[in-house]
A and B are shown apart, each in its own frame.
Chain A
C-alpha cells in the first residue's frame, strides 16, 4: 500500500510538471499583456514594470525561471497588487471555496443517496417517479439558475437568508445548496439504478434466505455494493464542484479562489493563472488518488496490488 502511494505521489509531480508546462506556453499565446490595458502608463513605465516582473526575457528563460521558483513552492507575485504573493492569495481564497464545495458535496451526496435508495425500494411508485423527475430537473437546470431564484425569493422576498457575501454560517446555506442540486440529482440517479440492479442479484436472495430482516439485507448487502459506482462519480463531481463554484462564488460575491481565477484571466495576471491552475490540478490529482484508495476499501476485489492480500 505504501509503495503504491509513493508511486502515485511521484506520478502526481510528473503530471503537475506537464500541466505547468502546457499552461505556461498556452498562456503566453493569449493576446495582450498584463499592463496593456492600463492606458495611463507611459512607454517607459510599462517597460519598467515588465522588467520588474521579468516579462522582457525570452519566453524559454521565463519558463525556466518560473519552474525554478515553483520547485521551491513559490508561485510568484500577482500583478494586480503590489507585493502580494500568489501563495497568500490562494491561501486566503481557499477557505471559503473549500468550505462551500465541501458542504455542497456532503449535503448533496447524503440527500442524493437517500433519494436514490428510496426510489429504488419503492420502484415504480409515486416516490420513484417524483425523485427521478426532480433528478432530471437537477441535472438539466444549471446551478446559477437556482442561485438566482434562491437569492430573489429566499434572500430578497422572504428575507430569511443574506443575499450575498461571506460573513458567517448563514451565508453558506444558499451557495452550498445551489451547488448541491446537481450532486443530489446525479447521485440519486446512479444510486437508484445501482440499487435496482443489486436488489435483483442472487446474493440478495441468498441473504434473505438466511432469514435476516429486509432492512439488514438492504443496509449490509445492497447499499454497500451500490456505493461502488457512487465513489467513482464522486471524484469527478468533487472536481466539478471546485470549478463549478467559480460561477456560484461570483453570484454570491464569495471571496473564493474561483473569483480570483476568473479575474486573473481577464487581467492577464500570469502568476495567478499559473498558480490557480496548478492548485486546481493538484486538488484534482489528490481527489483521484483518494477515490482510488476508497475504492479498494469498499470493494475488496480491486484492492491495490502490493497491499496485504
Chain B
C-alpha cells in the first residue's frame, strides 16, 4: 500500500558559531493514512526538528535538510519550492505547537486566525469562512462559538486556546496533523481532555497524526505506532504494544523504567544516568553506547543496523545480533511488572 508520508534517511543540520550540529542523522519513518504515530525521546533527540523539517519550517538561514527525502503522496517535500510548500502547509499537513499561550497571535481575533487558512486554501468568502470557523470551534468543544469567534486569545484559558489551535490546524481537513508536544504546557486534567479531543477528532476526520512527545503516558493514550528517537536517530520502532511490552532497545528500557508508576513502592524516580550525545561531534557508534549499561566494544565503534524483531517492530541495537550475550530488560522497565 502507498504510504501517505515517508521519511527516507533524513539528515538535518544547523550551522552555528561552534560548528555544524547534526540534529537529525538518518531518520526513516512512514505514516499510513489515518494512522497515529508517536515519536518519543528526550529533549534534544531531534524529534521537533524532524517535524519542522517535514513542514519545511526550519529556521531559514541556519537549518537545512542535508540529505534524504520526505515523500508526501509521492512528492518529495525536501525539494519542494516555498510556493509549493505554501499550498501544502495547512491544507495537507498542519501543525499544533507546544505552548498555546504563545502560539496564537495576541492582536487578532481567533476567528480571523482560523479563517486565514480557509480563505487561502479553500477560496472561501468571508461569511463562509466565518461560518466554518464557528463550526470548527463547536467541533473542538468551545461553548458559545458564535460569540467567542470574535474574541481575542487572551480571553481564553490555556486549555481553550489549545482547542483553538487544534481548530486552526484542522480547518482545511489536512491529511497529516503534526502535534509537537500538544499537552506539555497544560495542566494534567486539561491534558486528558485535549488527548480525548484529539482521539475523537481523529475518529471523525480520519487525519493521520504524528505525535511528538516525551511523555509515554500520552503515547499509550493516543498512538498506534511508536518511534523512539535518540541522538538524532530512530533506535526502535514498533506498535504501542511492542514498545511497551516487548521493548528491545536499552534506551527504550531506560525510558520505560523512568516512567513513574503508581503501583511501585519505590520512593525514588529512576533516571537514565549521563547526558545525551554532543551532536556537534556525534559518536561513531551507537549514540546511546556511552550511557548504556550493556554497551560492548562494538557499540562504540559501529552503528548497529536496524534489526527486524517482527514485521512491525525494529530496533537498532547490537544486543539483537546473534553473537551478543542474551540480556533481559531490567525489572523496572517491564510495564505492569514492577511490584
Contact = CB atoms under 8 A, between A and B. Distances in A.
Interface in B166-204: 168-169, 171
Main secondary structure of the interface of B (DSSP, over half): mixed
A203 B105 contact: yes
A214 interface: yes
Nearest to A200: B59
Interface in A282-302: 298-301
Residue with the greatest number of chain A CB neighbours at <10 A, chosen from B82, B108, B154: B108
Given A206-B168, A225-B105, A300-B152, A211 B97 contact: no
Nearest to A125: B61
Given A201-B102, A202-B97, A300-B154, A212 B107 contact: no
B55 A300 contact: no
B5 to A, nearest CB: 16
A221 B98 CA distance: 19
B154 A301 contact: yes
A224 B106 CA distance: 10
B196 to A, nearest CB: 23
Interface string B85-97: 1111111001101
A69 interface: no
Contacts of A203: 102-106
Residue with the greatest number of chain B CB neighbours at <10 A, chosen from A203, A213, A214, A220: A203
Given A202-B97, A203-B105, A298-B107, A210 B89 contact: yes
A209 interface: yes
B131 interface: no
B66 interface: no
Contact of A209 (B82, B90, B104, B106): B90
Interface residues of A, number: 22
Contact of A211 (B89, B103, B105): B89
Contact of B107 (A209, A211, A214, A300): A300
A202 B102 contact: yes
Contact of B97 (A205, A213, A228, A298): A205
Contacts of B3: none
A299 B154 CA distance: 11
Residue with the greatest number of chain A CB neighbours at <10 A, chosen from B91, B105, B169: B105
A96 B97 CA distance: 54
A300 B110 CA distance: 12
A221 B105 contact: yes
Given A300-B154, A301-B152, A209 B89 contact: yes
B32 interface: no
Contacts of B154: 300-301
A201 B108 CA distance: 15
A206 B103 contact: yes
A209 B55 CA distance: 7
Contacts of A225: 105-107
Nearest to A208: B57
A210 B88 contact: no
Interface in A181-227: 201-203, 205-214, 220-221, 224-225
A212 B169 CA distance: 13
A211 B117 contact: yes
A266 B121 CA distance: 68
A287 B98 CA distance: 41
B79 interface: no
B185 to A, nearest CB: 10
A203 to B, nearest CB: 5
Given A203-B102, A207-B116, A213-B86, A220 B108 contact: yes
B33 interface: no
Contacts of A221: 105, 108
A95 B157 CA distance: 51
B131 to A, nearest CB: 18
A211 B87 contact: yes
Given A210-B89, A211-B89, A299-B106, A205 B57 contact: yes
B120 A210 contact: yes
Given A202-B99, A206-B97, A300-B154, A211 B91 contact: yes
Interface in A220-279: 220-221, 224-225, 228
Nearest to B104: A203
A212 B165 contact: no
A211 B99 contact: no
A221 B103 CA distance: 12
A211 B106 contact: no
A212 B105 CA distance: 14
Interface in B36-55: 55
Interface of B: 55, 57, 82, 85-91, 94-95, 97-99, 102-108, 113, 116-117, 120-121, 152, 154, 165, 168-169, 171
Given A207-B113, A214-B82, 20 more contacts: A202-B98, A203-B105, A205-B57, A205-B97, A207-B105, A208-B57, A209-B55, A209-B169, A210-B90, A211-B86, A211-B88, A211-B89, A213-B86, A225-B106, A225-B107, A228-B107, A299-B107, A300-B107, A300-B152, A301-B107
17 contacts: A201-B102, A202-B103, A203-B102, A206-B95, A206-B103, A206-B168, A208-B57, A209-B94, A210-B117, A212-B86, A221-B105, A221-B108, A224-B107, A228-B107, A299-B107, A300-B107, A300-B154
Interface of A: 201-203, 205-214, 220-221, 224-225, 228, 298-301
